[in-house]
Amino acid sequence: MKRIGVLTSGGDAPGMNAAIRAVVRMAIFRGLEVIGIQRGYSGLVNGEFREMNLSSVADIIHRGGTVLRTARSESFRTPEGRKKAADNLRENCIEGLVIIGGDGSFRGARCLNDEHGVRFIGVPGTIDNDIPCTDYCIGFDTAVNNVLDAINKIRDTATSHERTYVIEVMGRNSGFIALEAGLAGGAESILIPEIEVKLDEVVEKLLRGHSRGKLHSVIIVAEGAASGLDICREIQEKTGFDTKVTILGHIQRGGSPTAFDRTVASRLGAMAVDLLIEGKERRVVGVVSGNLKDFDIDYALSQEKTINRSIYDLAGILAI
Ligand code: F6P
Find, among 116, 126, 241, 134, the residue nearest to 174 by Cα. 126
For range 123-127, the mean pLDDT: 98
Residue of the nearest CA to atom 7 in ligand 1? 172
Give the pLDDT band of residue 242 (cuts 50, 70, 90): very high
Find, among 185, 93, 177, the residue nearest to 139 by Cα. 177
Beta bridge partners, 140, equal none
How much of the chain, in percent, has pLDDT values that exceed 90?
99
Find, among 46, 31, 49, 29, the residue nearest to 97 by Cα. 49
| Ligand 1 lined by 124 (C-beta under 6 Å) | no
Rounded Cα–Cα distance for residues 244 and 149 (Å) = 18
Question: Closest ligand 1 atom to the C-alpha of 72?
Answer: 15
> CB burial class (10 A; 0-12, 13-18, 19+) of residue 237?
exposed
For range 160-165, the mean pLDDT: 97
The answer, yes or no, to whether residue 241 has pLDDT greater than 90, is yes
H or E element in which residue 230 lies: helix 228-239
Contacts of 247 by beta carbon, 8 Å cutoff, 6+ apart: 167, 168, 228, 229
Give the pLDDT band of residue 253 (cuts 50, 70, 90): very high
| Ligand 1 lined by 9 (C-beta under 6 Å) | no
Residue of the nearest CA to atom 14 in ligand 1? 11
Beta bridge partners, 97, equal 5, 120
Q: In this predicted structure, what is the pLDDT of residue 72?
A: 85
CATH of 3-139+257-302, one of 3.10.20.30, 2.30.30.40, 3.20.20.60, 3.40.50.450: 3.40.50.450
The answer, yes or no, to whether residue 3 has pLDDT greater than 90, is yes
Distance of CA 51 from the midpoint of ligand 1 (Å): 29
The answer, yes or no, to whether residue 48 has pLDDT greater than 90, is yes
Residue limits of CATH 3.40.50.450 in the chain: 3-139+257-302
In tens, the pLDDT along 56-110 reads 999 999 999 999 999 988 999 999 999 999 999 999 999 999 999 999 999 999 9
Pairing of strands 96-101, 243-247: unpaired
Q: In this predicted structure, what is the pLDDT of residue 273?
A: 98
The answer, yes or no, to whether residue 182 has pLDDT greater than 90, is yes
Question: Closest ligand 1 atom to the C-alpha of 252?
Answer: 4
Rounded Cα–Cα distance for residues 114 and 12 (Å) = 26
Rounded Cα–Cα distance for residues 280 and 283 (Å) = 7
Distance of CA 145 from the midpoint of ligand 1 (Å): 17
Distance of CA 171 from the midpoint of ligand 1 (Å): 7
> CB burial class (10 A; 0-12, 13-18, 19+) of residue 114?
exposed
H or E element in which residue 50 lies: strand 49-52
Angle, helices 228-239 vs 199-211, to 10°: value is 50
| Ligand 1 lined by 103 (C-beta under 6 Å) | no
Longest dimension (CA), the chain: 71
CATH number of 142-253: 3.40.50.460
| Ligand 1 lined by 283 (C-beta under 6 Å) | no
In tens, the pLDDT along 194-221 reads 999 999 999 999 999 999 999 899 999 9
For range 28-45, the mean pLDDT: 98
Which mutation among 172, 192, 253 tests ligand 1's pocket best, with the greatest number of atoms within 8 A of CB?
A: 172
Q: In this predicted structure, what is the pLDDT of residue 234?
A: 98
Residue limits of CATH 3.40.50.460 in the chain: 142-253
Q: In this predicted structure, what is the pLDDT of residue 184?
A: 98
The answer, yes or no, to whether residue 256 has pLDDT greater than 90, is yes
Q: In this predicted structure, what is the pLDDT of residue 49?
A: 98
The answer, yes or no, to whether residue 320 has pLDDT greater than 90, is no
The answer, yes or no, to whether residue 280 has pLDDT greater than 90, is yes
Residues with catalytic annotation? 128
Pairing of strands 49-52, 33-37: antiparallel
Residue of the nearest CA to atom 10 in ligand 1? 11
CA distances 162 to 205, 207, 218, 231, Å, are 16, 14, 11, 18
Distance of CA 12 from the midpoint of ligand 1 (Å): 9
Give Cα 52 distance to the centre of its chain: 25
How much of the chain, in percent, has pLDDT values that exceed 70?
100
